[in-house]
Amino acid sequence: MVEVDYKEIGEKLLNLDGVTSVAFFYDGLPVETIGELSDHEHISAMSEEMVRSGIKIAKELGIGDFEMLILETKNNKLLFFSFGDAAAVILIDPTSTLNLTELELRIRLEFLKIKRDYGQ
């Protein structure tokens, strides 16, 4: 199995317009963080709970495998992704001129390329 370079992946995602930070986590612990995150451990733990909840909801409702969860508030947007054994949270600049759908598509395309490259 190919070892995943989370720093390289995070930097690619951070280069997308509107993305301010990326954090990869495993079992609630930070694996790699890139960008403007202040409390890596807390964000990783909370994000792990979001992903686990998304996985559980998708499974119990029988609506397919969990892929992504979007949390949008008045001041921020966060996208949660499952990525192999780990997961990621991507913070979006709330003043970004890109709409969330366009940014989501760009991030999904980048994740597909990364998964292809790492055989995930």
Segment of 4-13, 50-59, 101-110 carrying the highest mean pLDDT: 50-59
pLDDT surpasses 50 at 1: no
Flag whether 1 is in a domain: no
pTM, two decimals, is 0.79
Q: Which domain range does residue 88 map to?
A: 6-118
Rounded-to-integer distance, Cα 33 and Cα 44, Å: 9
Q: Based on the structure, what is the number of domains in the chain?
A: 1
- As a whole number, mean pLDDT of residues 17-29 equals 87
18 vs 99: which has the higher pLDDT: 18
Question: How high is the pLDDT of residue 115?
Answer: 65
| pLDDT tens by residue, 24-55 | 888 888 888 888 777 778 888 889 999 999 99
Flag whether 24 is in a domain: yes
Please enumerate in sequence order all residues whose Cβ is within 8 A of that of 104, keeping only pairs 6 or more positions apart, or say none. 68, 70, 79
CATH of the domain at 67: 3.30.450.30
Flag whether 43 is in a domain: yes
Flag whether 30 is in a domain: yes
| pLDDT tens by residue, 58-105 | 999 999 988 888 888 888 888 888 876 788 888 888 777 666 666 676
Flag whether 70 is in a domain: yes
